[in-house]
Amino acid sequence: MAQLQEEAQIQQWLNEGITVPLGSTGELQIIKATSGSKTCTITVKNTDGANAFDAFVVSVRPTISSPWTIIANADLDFTSPTLPMRYASASPVGLAAGANVMFQIETGGIDSIKIEASNDTAAGTANLYYSFGV
């Protein structure tokens, strides 16, 4: 994972070549919320040449010791979001090979965000970009 930019209180990060497992949902990234941030914008690209995602889950927790709470894992959670999910360009559930999706989460009261996914026919790869806004 590489830090792309840091200006004022906005940070951008990139994690490329993340393995997306076949069949069972696997963790792609745990994002630690930046102190003072109001939003986290996340872009996920399915970099696999042939396989679509068959599951995509976003969970949050208010403290490091709290259990994870799923905030989005179905198409409707992304296309008609409720807080803390603010916006999604499309649903990443079933994201086609080579496609990408962007979504934004309010980070007030959130310590961490967990992104999980799985592919439909074979293990694949994904790139994940995220930034925090104030």
Q: Kindly tell me the burial class for residue 21, based on how many C-beta atoms sit within 10 Å of its own C-beta (0-12, 13-18, 19 or more).
A: middle
**98 found inside a domain:** yes
Give me the residues paired with residue 95 across strands.
none
- Between 22 and 127, name the one with better pLDDT: 127
Question: Does 71 reside within a domain?
Answer: yes
Who's near 82: CB < 8 A, 6+ residues apart?
none
| CATH number of the domain bearing residue 68 | 2.60.120
In this predicted structure, the answer to whether residue 12 has a pLDDT above a threshold of 70 is no
Decide: 10 and 3 in contact? Cβ < 8 Å. Answer: no
Instruction: State the total domains in the chain.
Output: 1
Token pair listed for 102: 């962007």
72, part of any domain: yes
Q: According to the model, what pLDDT value does residue 11 have?
A: 57
51 belongs to a structural domain? yes
Residue 104 inside a domain? The answer is yes
Q: What pLDDT score does 6 carry?
A: 44
Edge-to-edge strands, sheet with 85-88 = 2-7, 10-20, 124-133, 39-46, 100-106, 85-88
What pTM value is reported for the model?
A: 0.87
- Does any domain span residue 95? yes
Residue-range definition of the domain harbouring residue 47: 19-129
- The answer to whether position 39 is within a domain reads yes
Is 122 inside any structural domain?
yes
Q: What is the pLDDT of residues 46-61, one digit of tens each?
A: 998 788 898 999 999 9
